[in-house]
Amino acid sequence: MARPVTRGPRPSLTIPGSVSGVDRRSILRGALGTGALLAASGALAACSSDSSSPSTGSSSGAGKPGNVKFGINEARGSGPAYDRLAAIAAAYTQKTGAQVSLNAVDHNTFQESITTYLQGSPDDVFTWFAGYRMAQFAEAGQITDLSDIWPIDGMSDAFKKAATAADGKQYFVPVSYYPWAVFYRKSVFEKNGWTEPKSQDDFMALLKDMQGKKITPFAFAAKDAWAPMGTFDILNMRLNGYDFHMELTKGKKKWDSPEVKRVFETWKTLLPYHQENSLGRTWQEAATSMAKGECGMYLLGSFVVDGVPKDAADDLDFFTFPALDATIGADALDAPIDGFCVAEGGADQEAGKAFAKWLGSAEAADAGNNASSVPFIAANSGASTAKYGALQKKSVEVVQNAKSIAQFLDRDTNADLANTVITVSLQNFIKNPDDIDGITASIQQQAASILG
Amino acid sequence: MATGTRRRQSRRVETKRGWKDRLVIGTMIGVPTLLVFWLVWLPAAASVLLSFTRWNGFKFSAIEWVGTKNYVDITTIYPPFWPAIRHNLIWLAFLFVLPTILGMVLAVVLDRNMWGSRFYQTAFYLPVVLSLALVGFIWQLFYSTDQGLINEVFGSKVDWYGDPSVNLWAVLVATAWRHTGYIMLIYLAGLKGIDASLREAAAVDGASEVKTFFHVIFPVMRPINMIVLVIVVIESLRAFDLVWIVNKGRNGLELISALVSQNVIGEATRYGFGSALAVIMMVISSVFIAIYLRIVFREERR
């Protein structure tokens, strides 16, 4: 029903935004947090006003490290995610002497009010997501061009690509990510003599064998409407490739094209291997089915560990979805990237840019991870991996080997289309897998109307 | 023809009022009028205007006039719309039938001062105190497919919240659980207020319990019935919380209010489209309000 309150290791900064339902507790927490924060940030601002921004030697090309306001999407005291961000801010102050006033807002509240936030008087630097969600603000002139702080040491080209908007400039500094992959319990695989499938044939054989042993191959949940997007994405990227995914999400390819229909056709043949009644199941419930061994595998983001008990979490392993088309291969995956943007409406652009540049550094990532019980997977390859668990180490490897990183359907495409049309349509498909023509036609009609 | 004298009289009364009185009256009328205008009429008018545009919520200059396109899209290519209308009507009919009758029956039974009647009153009324969001959560414990109480006890495998052919009814039962207590309390209050001599008279005349209720008690409770009618209509139009908690008003639980929210709250910013849906909802509510006002005024004229 909602983003879990952190329990057990949590490799990611956040779970995808649309994951979260309106969690009453978190709203309350957010409200309290914001209230407390207003007072706190007022106090901070008061402190900072008389300490005229000292600029110590930072080799940054852009901007001077002045005092900044930092908007983050984790409420004060909301767990490791907040601890990391607060520690990163503190480390910056320690390094440069610049004050960072933290504006900590609850995750859902932050995301849902982002449009008004950016148009009001936003903080200089704020937490945000890569992909279209970043690009649409770039297009609307709400966020600052950061191309002069790129390239960032330790950031691969894939990250640069994800930070680039339609005009070819970078507007984003990545900090962490979490890959989507097929998770399973090592003990269950060992007991049944299964191994990670390397090819499509292996994969199909595995599915059949699981079914023969009365274990549902795939745990599956679609009550949260974003969840089936993960399946759509991976099938689309395996059948049509990363470039098609990007063109489709940008509206350059049609939703009723033969390529998209082929994705649905393939999905339809795989549906019998998925858990039934998925439309009433939350991802936490599906994760539990996998943890209990009722289901063999679960295709989800690495936040799946939050949905299973501790002993099962230690037993988890994953593999990337195998290739379905030899010419396309299996070198693309969804790995949503979280990071930071500089708000165009922020008070101090120079200070904001300087802070943003530092946020992308390995040093910032280490400061965050050292202060928190649960590390994130740093985007910067120079960051220390000492605190990572086995799953996170493997995630790093998988993402570094990937040629292209997609941001997830609802992060790569127009938010209106994703949230009001595609969610509904994917659920309709699961209900009615025979109506592929009708469903794709309906998406295309609405996409044409929304994208204009 | 208003006579001249009367007019003069009234003018005299007016002049008698000091400037202070006039100021007080002016403020007392003016401030609420301004508030109503600012908080009710202006947003309503803005919604109507916005419903003919396309706007992403950034800069006012980005507002683009699209004529009736939103309305055409809603009725032709927006699949959740017609189910939403249907579900709102089902919601209305259901609330009228089950919780209202059940609430009335409970009230009549509890009114008889039986043993433990206080306890039952509290028990039935308790859900009303809970927010619908909480009600949604409580029923999730019953309805969950894999871990829910109902499937566990009956060994069934029904996907209560996920199967679009049953989830509306599952949610309606949860709503009724809460709504019945409300209706019960209103009728209970009404029954307590009925003059005991009416019952005695009926008993003396030899009327049966049932006959007494339908021919004597029920007609006397006419004002209570009116209140219940209005409450049911309002509750069914603003039905929202429960479906939003369950699955954000998708997959069999579409309601117009939920569709409005899907389009304008959160990251989807289809302000024009969402406004058009809101306007449709406003028109539908106006029909009910008009009917209600007609009945009330006819009552008063009698």
The single-letter code of the amino acid at A226 is: W
DSSP string, A295-320: EEEEEEEGGGGGGS-HHHHHTEEEEP
A288 at the B interface (CB within 8 A)? Answer: yes
- The residue among B298 and A212 whose pLDDT is bigger is A212
**Average pLDDT, stretch A51-69?**
55
- Mean pLDDT across chain A, nearest whole number? 83
Q: Is residue B263 part of a domain?
A: yes
DSSP A322: P
Helix H or strand E encompassing A68 = strand A68-72
Measured between CA atoms, the residue of chain A closest to residue B265 is A112
Contact A449 B270 (CB under 8 A): no
Number of domains comprising chain B: 1
Percent of chain B clearing pLDDT 90 (strictly above): 31
- Does pLDDT of A74 surpass 90? no
**Does residue A7 carry a pLDDT above 60?**
no
pLDDT tier, A48 (very low <50, low <70, confident <90, very high otherwise): very low
Residues of chain B numbered 106-125 and touching chain A (CB < 8 Å): none
Interface of B with A in 26-65 (CB under 8 A): 54, 56-59
Residue A19 has pLDDT above 50, yes or no: no
What pLDDT, on the 0 to 100 scale, is given for residue A106? 83
> Cβ–Cβ of B145/A424 closer than 8 Å?
no
* Residue B206 DSSP class: T
The edge-to-edge listing of strands for the beta sheet with A100-104 is: A100-104, A68-72, A125-129, A337-342, A173-177, A377-378
Residue B48 belongs to some domain of the structure? no
Amino acid B239: pLDDT: 86
Provide the pLDDT for residue B6: 54
pLDDT over 70 at A410, yes or no: yes
Give the nearest chain A residue to B60 (CA atoms). Answer: A119
Looking at residues B22-30, what average pLDDT do you find? 92
CATH of domain A180-334+408-451: 3.40.190.10
Per-residue pLDDT band at B16 (split at 50, 70, 90)? low
Q: What pLDDT score does A231 carry?
A: 95
pLDDT tier for residue A390 given thresholds of 50, 70 and 90: confident
Q: Cβ–Cβ of A424/B250 closer than 8 Å?
A: yes
- pLDDT score of A20 more than 60: no
Verify whether the Cβ–Cβ distance A225 to B250 is below 8 Å.
yes
Residue A87 has pLDDT above 60, yes or no: yes
Longest dimension (CA), chain B: 85
How would residue B258 be classed by pLDDT, with cut points 50, 70 and 90?
Answer: very high
Q: For residue B225, is it within any domain?
A: yes
The pLDDT assigned to A140 comes to: 84
Q: According to the model, what pLDDT value does residue A139 have?
A: 86
Q: Closest approach of chain B CAs to the CA of A286, in angstroms?
A: 9
pLDDT: which is higher, A435 or A37: A435
Whether the Cβ atoms of residue A210 and residue A216 lie closer than 8 Å to each other: yes
* Cα separation values, B142 from B61, B174, B245, Å: 50, 10, 15
Chain A residues whose beta carbon lies within 8 Å of the beta carbon of residue B162: 222-223, 277-281
Sorting pLDDT into bands at 50, 70 and 90, what band is B90? very high
The three-point CA angle B190-B191-B197 to 5° equals: 120
pLDDT above 80 for A412: yes
User: What residue ranges do the domains of chain A occupy?
Assistant: 68-177+337-382, 180-334+408-451
Structural domain includes residue B30: no
Q: Does A277 touch chain B (CB under 8 A)?
A: yes
The SS3 of residue B254 is: coil
Cβ contacts of A279 on chain B, cutoff 8 Å: 159, 162-164, 247, 251
Residues of B within 8 A of A115 (CB-CB) are 56-58, 269
pLDDT score for B225: 87
Q: Which of A12, A91, A74 minimizes the C-alpha distance to A389?
A: A12
Report the pLDDT value the prediction gives residue A208, as an integer from 0 to 100. 95
A59 close to B (CB below 8 A): no
Chain B partners of A22 at a C-beta cutoff of 8 Å? 244-245
Mean pLDDT of A404-429: 90
Nearest-Cα residue of chain A relative to residue B266? A112
> If pLDDT is split at 50, 70 and 90, which confidence band does A73 have?
confident
Residues in chain A, total: 452
Q: Per the CB < 8 Å rule, is B267 touching A277?
A: no
- CA A66 to CA A60: how far, in whole Å? 12
Burial group, residue A100, by CB count within 10 angstroms (0-12, 13-18, 19+):
buried
Sheet holding A180-185, edge to edge: A216-219, A295-301, A180-185, A316-319
Whether pLDDT at A132 is above 70? yes
Q: Which residues of A touch B159 (CB under 8 A)?
A: 276-277, 279-281
pLDDT at B7 over 60: no
Taking residues A9-36, report their average pLDDT: 39
> pLDDT tier at B1 (50, 70, 90 boundaries)?
very low
Q: Identify which has the larger pLDDT, B96 or A75.
A: B96
Measured between alpha carbons, how far apart are the two ends of chain B, in Å? 26
Please tell me if residue B91 touches chain A, with a CB cutoff of 8 Å: no
B247 touches chain A (CB under 8 A): yes
By Cβ distance, the residue of B57, B80, B145 closest to A281 is B145
CB-CB contact of A280 with B161 (8 Å): yes
Closest CA to A14 of A84, A65, A118: A84
* Confidence (pLDDT) at B13: 54
pLDDT of A33 > 80? The answer is no
Q: Under an 8 A CB cutoff, do A420 and B270 touch?
A: yes
pLDDT at B3 over 60: no
* Residue indicated by tokens 């309606």: B172
Instruction: Say if residue A151 is preceded by a cis peptide, omega within 30 of 0.
Output: yes
Mean pLDDT on B114-134: 85
Contacts of B160 in chain A (CB under 8 A): 280
Query: What is the architecture, at CATH level 2, of domain A68-177+337-382?
Result: 3-Layer(aba) Sandwich (3.40)
Q: Return the pLDDT at B39.
A: 92
* A-chain residues near B262 (CB < 8 A): 419-420
Whether residue B159 and residue A279 make contact (CB cut-off 8 A), yes or no, is yes
Residues 367-396, chain A, touching B (beta carbon < 8 A): none
pLDDT band of residue A433 (cuts 50, 70, 90) is very high
pLDDT value of position B298: 81
CATH code of residue B89: 1.10.3720.10
Q: Which two tokens stand for residue B300?
A: 């008063």
The nearest alpha carbon in chain B to A109 belongs to B266
How close does chain B come to A328, measured CA to CA in Å?
A: 33
- A280 contacts in chain B (CB < 8 Å): 143-145, 159-163, 167
Q: How confident is the model at residue B9 (pLDDT cuts 50, 70, 90)?
A: low
Top-confidence residue, B72 or A81:
B72
Mean pLDDT of the region A59-74:
73
Mean local confidence (pLDDT), A364-391: 87
Find which of A288-302, B108-122, B132-146 is predicted with most confidence, using mean pLDDT. A288-302
Round to whole Å and give the CA distance between A133 and A131: 5
Summarised one tens digit per residue, pLDDT across range A306-320 is: 888 888 888 999 999
* A236 pLDDT tier (thresholds 50, 70, 90): very high
Distances (CA, A) of A173 to A143, A155, A251, A352, B289: 12, 10, 25, 12, 54
Please check whether residue B212 touches A, CB under 8 A.
Answer: no
Q: Please give the ipTM for the structure prediction.
A: 0.76
With 0.80 as the threshold, say if the pTM is over it: no
Poorest-pLDDT segment among A12-21, A116-125, B65-74: A12-21
Model confidence pLDDT, tens digit, residues A147-181: 998 888 888 888 888 899 888 999 999 999 989 99
**Which token pair is B296?**
């009330």
pLDDT confidence bin for A451, thresholds 50/70/90:
confident
> Stretch A73-91: mean pLDDT, rounded?
85
Share of chain A above pLDDT 70, in %: 86
pLDDT of residue A41: 37
Q: What is d(CA A409, CA A414) in angstroms, rounded to the nearest whole number? A: 9
User: Among residues 125-164 of chain A, which lie with CB inside 8 Å of chain B?
Assistant: 133, 140, 142
| Residue A23 scores a pLDDT above 60 | no
pLDDT class of A247 with cuts at 50, 70, 90: very high
Give me the domain span that covers residue B108: 70-300
